[in-house]
Amino acid sequence: MSRVTLSRYLIEQTRSHNTPADLRFLIEVVARACKEISHAVSKGALGGVLGSMDTENVQGEVQKKLDVLSNEILLEANEWGGHLAAMASEEMDKAYQIPGRYPKGAYLLLFDPLDGSSNIDVNVSVGTIFSVLRCPDDCFSQNDALAERAFLQPGYRQVAAGYALYGPQTTLVLTLGEGVKGFTLDRELGSFVLTHEHMQVPPSTSEFAVNMSNQRHWEPPVTRYVSELLAGADGPLGKNYNMRWIASMVADVHRILTRGGLFMYPRDAREPDKAGKLRLMYEANPMAFIVEQAGGAATTGTQRILDVQPEALHQRVPVFLGSKEEVERVTGYHNQA
């Protein structure tokens, strides 16, 4: 059987599910940018792109050279196509307005250009996360603040979400709201080829992912839940659990999409107002959309992530996502507290 490339999949989606042509174009442009990022990441020390800049991003995190390069690749790839009204990125404080010389379109693109970038210098998988929203009618104003407000839509309004994982293979995982598909980059062809027709998160699991070094900062429901996981077969959950923590959300989520598991980044007493480390608009929301489309669940501990009404572009939320049985358990503990 001839191999299905991303382009062919998107065209067939247009026929079967009326995926708008400009959304199809958007996904293809983002995928092409991810190929370019994959190429830059794979060069490592040979490409002179390892290490950090002497700058910080809006999150107060030291920027890696590849963070900045990946952000520029995504901006330059997407600004001229006429499919976007604006863009937003983890690496930029304000929304990115489409330059006046280019036409605007109906979509808003949000991304974390290189998530997990602290892993780059030690050659551990990193990734790009993206989310697509429709632009409300009134967002075409020239007023930045207005365009910024246009981004503040709950995650259930996403029309597409995906990630590229730069690991032993470069894979693109995508949902258009009709399930989750996985594509693997064929470097000889230069195309993403459909390799995972129907990605599903197993409803139960024996594997969890959390940074245990933060244990003393967790709230009681999380402390209770993790202690039960660690108690194993002799404990209340009656089975032994394994733990993984790659410290690269894209890699941890991809493992969960592949074999199940529970990913946690809880609220942290060190900075309770920040509500944990992960950002709602371009990390939690796209991953929650993908995980739910794959039959899993994603909450803040007390609320479905996709129902959170954003109040700020770089807002953070606690994240519990993955196998439905475990997400429901830990969420139940929060609601009992």
Sites of contact with ligand P6P (CB under 6 A): 115-116, 118, 211, 247-249, 252, 277-278
Q: Is 115 annotated as a binding residue?
A: yes
Dist. CA 86–CA 23, nearest whole Å: 14
Q: Is 57 annotated as a binding residue?
A: no
Q: Is 90 annotated as a binding residue?
A: yes
The residue number whose beta carbon is nearest to ligand P6P equals 249
CB of 211 to ligand P6P, least distance (A): 4
CB of 278 to ligand P6P, least distance (A): 6
Q: Which is nearer to ligand P6P, 262 or 278 (CB)?
A: 278
Q: Which is nearer to ligand P6P, 142 or 213 (CB)?
A: 213
Across the beta sheet with 262-265, the strand order is: 242-243, 207-209, 262-265, 319-322, 297-299
Can you spell out the DSSP letters for 107-120?
A: EEEEEEEEETGGGG
Q: Is 118 annotated as a binding residue?
A: yes
CB of 127 to ligand P6P, least distance (A): 8
Q: Which is nearer to ligand P6P, 6 or 250 (CB)?
A: 250
DSSP state of 100: T
Which tokens in the block code for residue 63?
């920027």
Dist. CA 288–CA 244, nearest whole Å: 19
CB of 243 to ligand P6P, least distance (A): 13
Q: Is 299 within 8 Å of 305 (Cβ atoms)? A: yes
Query: Any idea which residue has 């996360």 for tokens?
Result: 129
Can you spell out the DSSP letters for 228-295?
A: HHHHGGGSTT-S--EE---S-HHHHHHHHHHH--EEEE---TTSGGGTSSSBIIIIIHHHHHHHHHTT
CB of 320 to ligand P6P, least distance (A): 13
Q: Is 228 annotated as a binding residue?
A: no
Q: Is 268 annotated as a binding residue?
A: no
Query: Which segments are annotated as binding site for substrate?
Result: 115-118, 211, 277
Query: Which segments are annotated as binding site for Mg(2+)?
Result: 90, 112, 114-115, 283
